[in-house]
Amino acid sequence: MTDHSPEPRTDGQPPKVERGGFWGLFLGLAGFLFPPYSGVLSAFGLVQGLRARRAARAHGSEAPGALASMAVGMVGVVLSASMIAVLFVYNGPATEYRDCSARAQTVSSQKECDQAWKSETGLPTAIAGG
């Protein structure tokens, strides 16, 4: 995609546009739609945006979408890393909450599970799937 050099220009002909930025933007946005693969897709979008900008600079052409691809890819990588960090930090309490909720047979016992989660983590139960 980005390794092909643009065709030679004649006088008055506009430079060829590098399309790798659009692919990178597509990959970065796909990272938001598929959370299990968000880190990989966002990283691919970031790399594709960088490659498109380099190719456009080397060939004297434009790379529309490349900067947006890099920005969306970076945001996706940061969000993915933070989700993984939260997963590791609250893995134990989340497992305990899910086990407690599975054993809860009444509304009052479920409220006890909710209260234990809130007192232990200070987070709402929706984060743990409650």
What pLDDT digit, counting tens, does each position of 96-127 carry? 999 999 999 999 999 999 999 999 888 888 76
Per-residue pLDDT tens digits for 44-80: 999 999 999 998 888 888 889 999 999 999 999 998 8
pTM of the prediction? 0.67
SS3 17: strand
Burial (CB count <10 Å: 0-12, 13-18, 19+), residue 96: middle
pLDDT at residue 76, as a whole number? 92
Please say if the pLDDT value at position 7 is more than 80: no
With a cut of 80, say whether residue 23 has pLDDT above it: yes
Rounded-to-integer distance, Cα 29 and Cα 44, Å: 11
